[in-house]
Amino acid sequence: MRRLSLAAFIFGAVGAVTGGIALAAIGPPTLHVSQKGRAFQPNAVLLPRGASVEIVNDDGDLLHHVYVDSPEFSFDSGDLKPGSRTLVTFTVGGTFAVLCGIHPKMKLAVRVEGR
């Protein structure tokens, strides 16, 4: 899973080189994460500072939630109803645990490169 998300990141970086003007207008890449099966998929992502992770509750009729609680960065989506999504923009570098307040076993490791 980690390899897959790294590949997604590299693909985004290649896109930045080949389509620099377009990407400059769009901004840093956005990675997409599923919550299917009561698990973040992928469960680890690597992204540059300023990039975002869009997390979608595509897990049937289950209610989910997304939060980050660290000294450097915090985020709380509130209840994430079935079919809804939330965008988390990581403005500081570091390693963060993205969690679901409803299902404690759900964990997404986010590594943000750059200061």
> Which residue, among 53, 43, 35, has the nearest Cα to 102 in the 3D structure?
35
Q: How far is the CB of 84 from Cu ion (least distance, A)?
A: 12
Residue 8 or 39: the one with the smaller Cβ distance to Cu ion is 39
Residue 88 contacts by C-beta under 8 Å, 6 or more apart in sequence?
A: 52, 53, 54, 55, 66, 68, 75, 77, 98
AA identity, residue 72: E
Nearer to Cu ion, 100 or 110 (CB): 100
77 binds Cu ion (CB under 5 A): no
CB of 80 to Cu ion, least distance (A): 8
Contact code string over 33-72 relative to Cu ion, x by CB under 5 A: -------------------------------x--------
Helix (H) or strand (E) holding 34: strand 30-34
